Every structure is written in C-alpha cells, then in structure tokens.
Structure 1
Amino acid sequence: MTLRQVLVEMSVMEQRYRAVQDVLAGSSVTDVAERFGVSRQAVHRWLAWYQEEGLEGLADRSSRPRSSPGQTSTEVEALICELRRNHPRWGARRLVYELGRRDCPGSIPSRITVHRVLIRHGLIDPTPRRRRREDYRRWERGRPMELWQLDIVGGIQLADGGEAKVVTGVDDHSRFCVIAAVVRRATGRAVCIAFAEALHRFGVPEEVLTDNGKQFTARFGRGGGEVMFDRICRENGITHRLTKPRSPTTTGKVERFHQTLQRELLDDVEVWADPEEAQAAIDVFRHEYNTERPHQSLGMAFPTNRFTAQSTEKQIPLRLPPTLDTTIPAPRKPLLAPPPVPPSAAVSATVAAASSATGDDVGLAVEVTRLVPASGNLTICGQQFWLSPTRAGLPVTLWADTTVVHLLIDGVRLKTVPSRLTPTHLRQLLADDAQPAGPPPITTGPVQAGAPIEVERLVNATGLISLAGRQHPVGYHFAGRRVTVRLDRGLLQIAADGVLLRNLPNPLTAAEAASIRDARPAGPPPTPSPEPVRVERRVSCRGALVIAGQRIHVGNAHAGRTLVVEAADTTFRILDGDQVVAEVPRTTTKSIARFKARKPEPPRSKRPSTPPAKATVG
C-alpha cells in the first residue's frame, strides 16, 4: 500500500497529529509539508493550534469570519421590515427608493440586499421566474406622442348585475395614461369615442399599438374591410400597428397599467352603483397615477414629468366620421391652447367681450346649494367636483367666483379647487337659484415668503401625499382621505374639517415650500382633536407591547392578543374591548409611526383548542 492510500484512510485529525509529532520529533517543517502534501503555513498553523488547545485544537473548525464589516445593520433591516409590513405591495426597488428619502441609518443597501432581507424575515416567498429578466427584449420610444398603446380591460361589476369595461391607453415613452374611459359595452363605437376624446385633449400621436380585437381591426373578421378605428387612424395620418396573435407582452406597458389599476382601485370595490361612479373614481386614480405616483421603469419619476402634449403649431384639424363627431363631448380639462384666431376675428371678439362685460363682473361671486348625486361626482356648468358616494344626498354649498371654488357642508369647508367658471356661468347661476356670495370661507391670494401656508391634498392608497414634486408619508390609516396640509416653519400639520389629525416635522425647505402648487395663505391653526389617537398593538409572548418606542407590560394573560391603545399627551391607556387593561404615564416624545397591528389576532374558529384533560382512575 502506498503512502497516499494510507493518508486517504487516515482521518484529517490523524494526519494533522502525525505532522505535528514529526515536527516535534526533529523533522523540518518543509519536509513534513512536502510529505503530507500541504503548505508550510498549514503546518505552522497546526503547531500553533496544538500548542494552544492540545489534541482538540486539530479538529475541523468553521471557516466563517468572526466579523463582517459589510453586513447590513440591524437598524436598516428593522426599517426595511417596518416599511414592508406597512406597505405590503412595495417591492425591493420601491423600498430602496423610500430608504433614500428617509434618514436611513448608515449606507443605503442595494436592491438584491433588500430582497434577501425580505426573504430572511419571511416577508416574501422566493419563487423562481419562468423567464429571466434578461430574456425579455425591452424597448421604449424616444419621445412622447410617438406611440400610444391601447387596450380594453374588464372587472367592474355593476349593481344591476352587468359588467362594465375600461378603454385604456398609455403613452409608450412616458407611461402617461391618456385614456381611461368606462363603457357599458366595449363596442367599436364606444372605443372610438374614447379614442377621439383623447385626440381632442392631447393631440394626434404618430402611431398606435393594439391587439387584434374586433373593435380595433377587421384582420380576423369574416367580411374584412375597414373598421371605424382604422378609418380614424387613416384619415388623421396615424400608423396603426397590430401585435402578433397571442402575444400580450407586446403591449406590456398598458397591460402593466391594468395590473396597477386592478390592485390599487378595482379590487377594493366589489360592486359599483353605475358606470358614472366608477368613472369618477378612475378619474381620481388616473390623476394620481400621472402626477403623484413614482414609476419604477422611469427611475422613480412621475409620468407627467416626461409627457408633453402635441403643440398647437404641429396640430392639424382632427378628422372624424360625421356620425361620430357629433357625439364627442367637450374635453373635461383641455390641455391644449385653442387654435390661433385670425387678427380680424380676434379684434371683433375683443370688442364684443368688452361690450358685453359690465363693471358688476369684477369681483362677482355666488353661493349655490346642490345635493350630492349617488355617484358622488357633482357637476355645475360643466365643472366636476368629486365628493365621494358616501356623501350622496347631502346638501353641499359652493362659494364660487372666476378663480376659486370652495365646497362646504354644514358650514365646514371640505376642499378648495381652482374655478373654471366664467362670468357668464356665474350670472346664469344667479338667474337660477344662486345668491350673491358673502366673504370667502378662507383667505386666498399670493403666498408670502416665510408665512404659513396650506394646501389640499388627497392621501393615496399607500398613505402618501405629493408636495413640491416629491411624495411624503403621512400615515397609512389616512389612505383615501382628502386632508388639509398646513406648513408653519418646522411643523407640518395634517387636518380635516378644521380638526388636527397629526403633527409631523416639515420635510421641505423654504424654496420647496414656495414652489408648491395650489398653495394659499394659511388660516388659523387647526384645533386639537378632542379624542385621543387610537392604535392597535399585538401583545408579545412575554406580555408586553411597544408604542412610540415605549415598552408597556400588560401581563402574560394577554399574550398574543391584539389590544387598542389610546395615546394622549401624557398617558397611554390600553383597552381590551371596553375593558381598561392598564393606564401608564407617557415617557416618550417620539411620534407614532404605525397605527395597525403587524399581525392580526387569529379568528376564534382557527385558534387551537385546549385538549381535554385525561380522566384518571383512582
């Protein structure tokens, strides 16, 4: 038997012991290392282990490093897990973006590091992709209005048992939603009306991309010929491109918009009263999607930052079929300037306007009362005001002039929006049932530098509001509410109906605050809420809960239960239903950042039952 075969049969520990004994017997380290087939450094390392720990020091040991300087800190991991639990739809890329906007302790981790943290803590289930990301061929047009992607999506269940559809369209370069029209039946005529309205508002794109639906093409129709959509494209110089059959990834951008629409809006409502109610809600979502929601494929920019409508110089008269042109309603919010008027016509129009205007039109303001319709979308003289179906049937008072409209219910101002009413509209309202208005409910006008300001904002589904081109978290529990944001030096106050909801540090500089759109001089400070803030916390297995960094022990009898905590200025009161469990003084100055329990209490039907005690004989 050779020496190599003998060494194979020997254990690793025995080989190291033989080598150490040979060196201690007088052999040189070089000869021993050559005979055992290892380096001289390994033999020196074995000698050191044997001298320090004896024979046990020659056993195999882990090669794991004692320290890892590049390891993600526990504070960053806790912040990642907190953001994910509060916003379950945020992925790794969105979390990296949000960490950059917050005071992240230490360096910001990479996307793959955040992904591994989520897997390690069980917040996502790692599933292999069917196709790798690099297997897809990504493409994007180089400028806006070069290509629109159009499609139709369902999923709107109506109270009468029917299902409405949504005609959608996005700009390929900017992901700007140009079409989001609810129709009862997705006929070719309904699709063309929605398409023509978008052409009126934004201009004519160079190309459109659709699938092979019968509303868009007669490619697979029996009779062949040309459908109305193809005719509109041909007469307006639009190149109509079709996808391959059974290739939905070709129109991937509009399909991705469908997924966002379904998750963030349509899944939250099971049944809609009518298409008008669904259209009003989709209009609000569409505005938020275009102007206030960061898009990952755009480097977390907003679609409106990359979209530009067609200029009036390049705009040509829109040609529509005669039977369709008469049915196109006027655009609800024109984004293009009117076509140029000849000089002679402009002079005539100016003289006519001057002759019809009177001195009474200056400062003309009216007050009118209307009932909120079932859809929650009130329309006056062509201007729409979204008030939510929850206020259906309530009388709302509108204070309106040519610059601003205030909406009030029972004397409490709900919101203030820019006015699109003309003096003619105001005189028409006075002739009907309106009354001359008194002083406005709030002061509007130019904002002075350094003075307190306020602005109306709608909190989106993830608890964020848009200020100065960036999104700021105000609380997930405020999602869907319209609030008044008041900026007073270093304080940001969230209020509704004149009642203070939350105080936060002001994240904006003076220059950023001056650039906020729709800002106005602030009125009096909101009154503190008479009711304490109520939050939920789940008691740990040791009978404790944590709120705003303060640990409160409530007893092991409540372990695993979800309790309600009433947070006042000086105390915390813990409630189990209507029963007061504990009331302790508040020793923390931190603000409450989480209002829902991380893990809800399991229903009683799914709780493990206590096994019955065994009967004993004796």
Structure 2
Amino acid sequence: MPHRNARLTVFGRRLLVERVRSGRPVAHVAAEMGISRATAHKWIRRWRTEGEAGLQDRSSRPRTTPHRTASAVEDRVCDLRQSRKLGPARIGPIVGLPTSTVHRILTRHRLNRLAWIDRPTGTVIRRYERERPGELIHVDVKKLGRIPDGGGHKTHGREAGRPIRGMGFDYVHSAVDDHSRLAYSEIHPDEKAATCAAFLTRAAAFFHAQGITRIERVLTDNAWAYRKGLAWKKVLTEIGATGKLTRPYRPQTNGKVERFNRTLLDEWAYLRPYTSNTERTEALADFLHTYNHHRCHTALGGHPPITRVNNAASQYT
C-alpha cells in the first residue's frame, strides 16, 4: 500500500511518466499533479533505471537500526512482562529504559496488552480465534457501485466520470474461515435470501475442496436473509452447521470478514481504475488466489491462509 499521505498511487506515477515522456517539462507536470519537483524527478529516475518495477510501492523500513535496543534487554523486558505482569512504567526503572521505549518493545513483541497473555503461564495467546479450520465461518456482503463501460471517475476524473443513474450495485458475498483466514467471494446483483443461501452452498464446497471438510458454525450480521430466510436455514441444515448472529449494531463481532472487506477494497476493487464492470469482476478470481495462496498475512506470522489449513490437516491425520 502507498503511504497514507502519498500524493501519487502507482497509476499516478505512470501518468507522471507518460506526461514527461511526451516532452513536457518535469516542473510543469509536477505542479499539475501537486507534487514537488524532487519527487517527480525521483519517480522518473526510478522508472528509467528499473522500468515499470520502479513505480511500485516500497517499504519505508530502514535496512538497519543501529540504535535499536539490544536483544538481551528486549528479552529482559519481555520476561518481566510475562512472569510478573508488570507495565511499562514499572519495567522501565528496572532495565534502565524510558517508559515509551519499553512500550514500543512490548508492542513489537505483541505483549502490550495483558488480555493477550495467559495470566497463570504468561504465554501469548490470541483471543477470538478458533482452534481449528471450519469451527466458525464469517459471512458478510459488501455493496459496490457498478462501473460504466469506459470507466468511471477513477479513470476520467470526478467531473467526467460522475455516476450514471441506473448503473446499480454489485453485492460481493464473502466467507472467511476464522482460524485460517481462508476466504471465498462471489459477486451477485442482490443480497436476497435465495442468493445468500446459494452462495453458502458454493462456499461450503470451496472450503471442502481446500481441506476444510466440515463447517460447524456460520456467523453473520442481523440482515433479514440470515435472520428469517428459510432458504438460508435450509442450507445450514444441509451442511450440518449452526447459524450464529452478531450483536445488533456491533459489526466488530464479525471482525474477521469486516477486515477482509477492507483488504478486498484496497487490493482488488480500488487497486486500479478499471475500464468496465466486467474487467473488475474478472480480476476477483486472481485476487482471491493471491490472497489465499501467496499473500503474507500478519495474523498468521507472515504466511498465507492456505498454510494454516494444510498444517491443521497434517495435525489431525
């Protein structure tokens, strides 16, 4: 992802290069795009030396951190946190570090919240995560405006690409396994009970094909299709699962799929300016494959979701 304050996305950098290649002065193009001349020259220089790859986002993390706290001291901080449950204000004087530094160390090692630590043993635990794949599946629907042929405002600008009346919406139905974060999505024209039920049937088949042979519970919000829909309840019975509803007006209860929806927008729906609704729809399959099999997931220690499924399968066989 680009830096939150960045003025240019990858698409904007390509546009910058195209305008400069057409023979226009870098200073003029930089002024038009609201960036400094130094920034414009930086992207032009990267493009000339690395080509298209030079326009991609890079990590701002430094290669080395010579002033970082020594590993032995960090280990001491973690030990005091886990064994004595002390906070930064009390650990600081013991190890001779400022309270703010101790807090950063605890955050880096995911020890900054006592709720994440088992009180008797001091072991780091992850609450709100099921022990095995299929124990709980999160389901939700995300509504997206359809893209007119030729592209919308992301392609032509706000004025030229104003929404066209009658274009309607796409409804992206998604299911995410709580333990592994394995995800499955489909695009439909509505979120009626029959549509939701048919989606759950195919989602269960997808999870089964990936090695999650049984779905025990399905968590959804309180939409009518999930709460009252007979077709939805019938499918739950067919797959042997129990339906579970979130607390009203509390979307955090369904947080796994809500967070997936955000990733869906950032890395698929708004990744680039699509020229048609069909083009965006066709890109969904590639995104899902990358997400499940290749994309590093921070909650899984930098591994893709499929590894959790494979590890669980080997554990129970």
TM-score, scaled relative to structure 1: 0.28
Contact 2:145 2:167 survives alignment (8 Å):
no
Contact 1:170 1:253 survives alignment (8 Å):
yes
1:367-421 deviations in whole A, cap 9, x for unaligned? Answer: xxxxxxxxxxxxxxxxxxxxxxxxxxxxxxxxxxxxxxxxxxxxxxxxxxxxxxx
| C-alpha distance in 2 between matches for 1:232 and 1:310 | 26
| C-alpha distance in 2 between matches for 1:231 and 1:309 | 32
What is the match of residue 248 of structure 1?
251
What is the match of residue 239 of structure 1?
242
- Segments of structure 1 that go 5 or more residues without pairing to the other structure are 1-84, 111-131, 219-225, 315-618
SS of equivalent residue, structure 2 residue 140: strand
| C-alpha distance in 2 between matches for 1:105 and 1:158 | 44
What is the match of residue 213 of structure 1?
223
1:273 paired with 2:293, answer no
SS of equivalent residue, structure 1 residue 301: coil
1:74-153 equivalences under 5 Å are 87=57, 95=61, 104-105=63-64, 109=68, 138-153=127-142
| CA apart distance, 1:229 | 0.9
Identity of aligned residues (%): 29
1:298 paired with 2:300, answer yes
1:339-388 deviations in whole A, cap 9, x for unaligned? Answer: xxxxxxxxxxxxxxxxxxxxxxxxxxxxxxxxxxxxxxxxxxxxxxxxxx
What is the match of residue 165 of structure 1?
171
Point out the structure with the larger strand share. Answer: 1
Contact 1:156 1:272 survives alignment (8 Å):
no
SS of equivalent residue, structure 2 residue 258: helix
| CA apart distance, 1:246 | 0.6
| C-alpha distance in 2 between matches for 1:147 and 1:234 | 15
SS of equivalent residue, structure 2 residue 224: coil
Contact 1:157 1:271 survives alignment (8 Å):
no
SS of equivalent residue, structure 2 residue 260: helix
Tell me which amino acid in the other structure corresponds to 1:202. Answer: F
Contact 2:294 2:304 survives alignment (8 Å):
yes
| C-alpha distance in 1 between matches for 2:174 and 2:280 | 14
What is the match of residue 199 of structure 2?
194
Whose Rg is larger? Answer: 1
What is the match of residue 14 of structure 2?
none
CA RMSD across the alignment? 3.4
Contact 1:154 1:164 survives alignment (8 Å):
yes
| C-alpha distance in 2 between matches for 1:141 and 1:162 | 37
| CA apart distance, 1:105 | 3.9
Q: Name the structure, 1 or 2, with higher relative contact order (CA <8 Å, separation 6+).
A: 2
User: Kindly tell me: are residues 259 and 195 of structure 1, through their superposed partners in 2, closer, same or farther at Cα, counting changes over 3 Å?
Assistant: same
1:154 paired with 2:143, answer yes
**Alignment partner of 1:184 out of 183, 186, 189:** 189
| C-alpha distance in 2 between matches for 1:290 and 1:200 | 16
1:314-333 deviations in whole A, cap 9, x for unaligned? Answer: 9xxxxxxxxxxxxxxxxxxx
User: Kindly tell me: are residues 109 and 254 of structure 1, through their superposed partners in 2, closer, same or farther at Cα, counting changes over 3 Å?
Assistant: farther
Q: How many residues align?
A: 188
User: Kindly tell me: are residues 161 and 286 of structure 1, through their superposed partners in 2, closer, same or farther at Cα, counting changes over 3 Å?
Assistant: same
- Segments of structure 2 that go 5 or more residues without pairing to the other structure are 1-54, 70-111, 117-125, 149-165, 209-213
| CA apart distance, 1:162 | 1.6
1:506-553 deviations in whole A, cap 9, x for unaligned? Answer: xxxxxxxxxxxxxxxxxxxxxxxxxxxxxxxxxxxxxxxxxxxxxxxx
What is the match of residue 469 of structure 1?
none
- 4+ residue stretches of structure 1 with deviation over 6 A? 132-137
| C-alpha distance in 2 between matches for 1:170 and 1:205 | 11
Contact 1:151 1:168 survives alignment (8 Å):
yes
Tell me which amino acid in the other structure corresponds to 1:162. Answer: G
| C-alpha distance in 1 between matches for 2:167 and 2:199 | 24
Point out the structure with the larger helix share. Answer: 2
1:172-210 deviations in whole A, cap 9, x for unaligned? Answer: 001111x21011112222222221112223234111111
User: Kindly tell me: are residues 108 and 212 of structure 1, through their superposed partners in 2, closer, same or farther at Cα, counting changes over 3 Å?
Assistant: farther
Contact 1:157 1:272 survives alignment (8 Å):
no
User: Kindly tell me: are residues 268 and 234 of structure 1, through their superposed partners in 2, closer, same or farther at Cα, counting changes over 3 Å?
Assistant: same
User: Kindly tell me: are residues 271 and 191 of structure 1, through their superposed partners in 2, closer, same or farther at Cα, counting changes over 3 Å?
Assistant: farther
1:311-460 equivalences under 5 Å are none
Contact 1:189 1:228 survives alignment (8 Å):
yes
Tell me which amino acid in the other structure corresponds to 2:131. Answer: G
What is the match of residue 288 of structure 1?
290
TM-score, scaled relative to structure 2: 0.52
